[in-house]
């Protein structure tokens, strides 16, 4: 066996990270003191001292079916032993099967094709390239509060200042008010948001569009679902101006919402392009653009090559994830566990003034903290204090939203009823006194 030295001491890890990680990679630190994870099994994590946690974050929605899920691990191990990597210029059955299986998950009656990438932001960038080539137009509309990734294209589409760098991002991208029932500019008035889309098309674009991109449920933005009817009406407007719909399912896909396999299906639309990543590989680096053939075909004349796109090892993980989703009925479990957790959150909302809003769709969940329920002034400091307590009480979640006042939970879809009881007991302790 190969021996590498491995220093698990907090001091050793912190000092190496501080010394050798670039500032851009060091900056994303959730808690006031470091958390070091050593092992994961399904919905649980253990730190280096052997303390157990319930993982309500799934390593940022990547762990869709469970840490070290035996079927995913076996599929990956078997592929690794055969052929770890195979560039897309050669043929291999694993990505080919996986493309077929993903296409089969899309709405029927359309001709879907797949381009595998390494990550979500690469998939978003490629979707943007496809939209512009397929339509011959340049302008895109995106939502304020949306997150699409750190690459230049994805960052330009992102509508949260904290994720945008002070540099010339792409032109022709226009952000419109996000249709947010709780905090949106027009409350729950869908027509208000649609009027804004009309105004932006009329005043800020050449009245020709490449497309519109949205997460059906904002993830990093704090679990905010587009109001019913909005995406369907937007799709009509966008298509009337020559554009296409791109739906970002990086966080919301793969049955997590419980009602549907894709979150967009609750909105009665069929997009031309769907981008996905994270949960698709249960932690393996993998993303995909799934597009209708007539859109994707426009790129036939050029090389678009992602070195690790269509990696047989990542795709083996992806195939196993789809199998587990079916065999273990994780979508139905997401619906059931989401409903139970919602009841827990509703009780917190009743009991604690600090809780301004609770919301979920299946296992995309949020508790939003405010200083005053009427003014909805965000409470980021208290959110930070409660967030620290959640870890001390054995829960892993994230602090999200442009105001950093939202506790966001997107657990592995295998969580069980006994975990819901743990969440309730732990959160009661964390919220005591607020």
Q: Which residues bind ligand PMP (CB under 6 A)?
A: 119-121, 124, 147-149, 215, 219-220, 248, 250-251, 277, 287
Strand, helix or coil for residue 395: strand
Q: Report CA torsion sign: 314, 316, 320, 323.
A: positive
Which of 392, 120, 390, 418 minimizes the C-alpha distance to 281?
120
- Cα–Cα distance for residue pair 354/367, rounded to 1 Å: 10
- Cα–Cα distance for residue pair 120/358, rounded to 1 Å: 27
3-state helix, strand, coil in the chain (%, to 5): 40, 20, 40
**Tokens (6 digits) for 109:** 């009656």
Minimum distance from residue 317 beta carbon to ligand PMP (Å): 14
- In the bound state with ligand PMP, the residue whose beta carbon lies nearer, of 57 and 383, is 57
The DSSP string of 346-385 is HHHHHH-TTEEEEEEETTEEEEEEBS-TTT--B-HHHHHH
Task: Please answer whether residues 122 and 287 qualify as being in contact, where contact means their C-beta atoms are separated by less than 8 angstroms.
Answer: yes
CA angle at residue 146 from 140 to 148, to 5 degrees?
75
Minimum distance from residue 57 beta carbon to ligand PMP (Å): 12
Minimum distance from residue 280 beta carbon to ligand PMP (Å): 10
Q: Which residues lie across from 176 on neighbouring strands?
A: 143
- Cα–Cα distance for residue pair 368/383, rounded to 1 Å: 8
- In the bound state with ligand PMP, the residue whose beta carbon lies nearer, of 219 and 401, is 219
- In the bound state with ligand PMP, the residue whose beta carbon lies nearer, of 150 and 187, is 150
Minimum distance from residue 146 beta carbon to ligand PMP (Å): 7
Q: At what angle do helices 312-327 and 70-82 cross, to 10 degrees?
A: 150
- In the bound state with ligand PMP, the residue whose beta carbon lies nearer, of 193 and 220, is 220
Minimum distance from residue 363 beta carbon to ligand PMP (Å): 15
- In the bound state with ligand PMP, the residue whose beta carbon lies nearer, of 201 and 402, is 402
Minimum distance from residue 273 beta carbon to ligand PMP (Å): 13
Minimum distance from residue 257 beta carbon to ligand PMP (Å): 14
Minimum distance from residue 275 beta carbon to ligand PMP (Å): 7
- In the bound state with ligand PMP, the residue whose beta carbon lies nearer, of 116 and 147, is 147
Minimum distance from residue 421 beta carbon to ligand PMP (Å): 29
Q: In angstroms, what is the C-alpha Rg of the chain? A: 21
- In the bound state with ligand PMP, the residue whose beta carbon lies nearer, of 66 and 253, is 253
Task: Please answer whether residues 281 and 310 qualify as being in contact, where contact means their C-beta atoms are separated by less than 8 angstroms.
Answer: no
**Tokens (6 digits) for 299:** 């790129």
């Amino acid at each position: 066996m190969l021996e590498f030295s491995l220093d698990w001491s907090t001091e050793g890890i912190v000092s190496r990270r501080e010394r050798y990680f670039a500032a851009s990679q060091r900056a994303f630190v959730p808690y006031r003191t470091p958390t070091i994870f050593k092992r994961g099994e399904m919905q649980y994590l253990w730190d280096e001292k052997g303390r157990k946690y319930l993982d309500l974050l799934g390593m940022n929605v990547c762990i869709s079916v469970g840490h070290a899920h035996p079927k995913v691990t076996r599929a990956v191990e078997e592929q690794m032993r055969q052929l770890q990597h195979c560039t897309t210029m050669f043929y291999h059955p694993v990505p080919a099967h996986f493309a077929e299986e993903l296409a089969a998950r899309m709405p029927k009656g359309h001709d879907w094709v797949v381009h595998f990438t390494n990550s979500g932001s690469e998939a978003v960038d490629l979707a943007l390239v496809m939209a512009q080539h397929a339509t011959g137009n340049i302008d895109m509309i995106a939502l304020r509060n949306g997150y699409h990734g750190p690459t230049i294209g994805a960052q330009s589409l992102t509508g949260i200042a904290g994720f945008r760098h002070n540099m010339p991002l792409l032109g022709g991208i226009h952000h419109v008010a996000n249709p947010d029932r709780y905090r949106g500019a027009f409350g729950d008035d869908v027509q208000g948001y649609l009027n804004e889309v009309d105004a932006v098309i009329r005043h800020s674009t050449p009245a020709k569009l490449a497309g519109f991109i949205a997460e059906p449920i904002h993830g990093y933005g704090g679990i905010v679902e587009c109001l019913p009817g909005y995406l369907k009406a937007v799709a009509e407007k966008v298509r009337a101006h020559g554009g296409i719909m791109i739906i970002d399912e990086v966080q919301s896909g793969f049955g997590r919402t419980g009602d549907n396999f894709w979150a967009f299906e609750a909105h009665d639309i069929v997009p031309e392009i769907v981008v996905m990543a994270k949960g698709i590989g249960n932690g393996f680096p993998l993303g995909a653009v799934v597009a209708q053939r007539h859109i994707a075909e426009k790129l036939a004349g050029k090389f678009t090559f992602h070195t690790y796109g269509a990696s047989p090892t990542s795709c083996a993980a992806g195939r196993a994830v789809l199998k587990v989703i079916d065999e273990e009925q994780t979508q139905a479990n997401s619906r059931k566990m989401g409903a139970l957790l919602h009841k827990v959150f509703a009780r917190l909302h009743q009991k604690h003034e600090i809780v301004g809003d609770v919301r979920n769709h299946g296992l995309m969940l949020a508790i939003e903290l405010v200083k005053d329920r009427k003014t909805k002034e965000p409470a980021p400091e208290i959110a930070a204090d409660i967030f620290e307590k959640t870890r001390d009480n054995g829960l892993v979640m994230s602090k999200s939203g442009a105001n950093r006042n939202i506790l966001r939970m997107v657990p592995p879809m295998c969580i069980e009823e006994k975990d819901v009881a743990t969440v309730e007991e732990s959160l009661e302790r964390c919220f005591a006194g607020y």
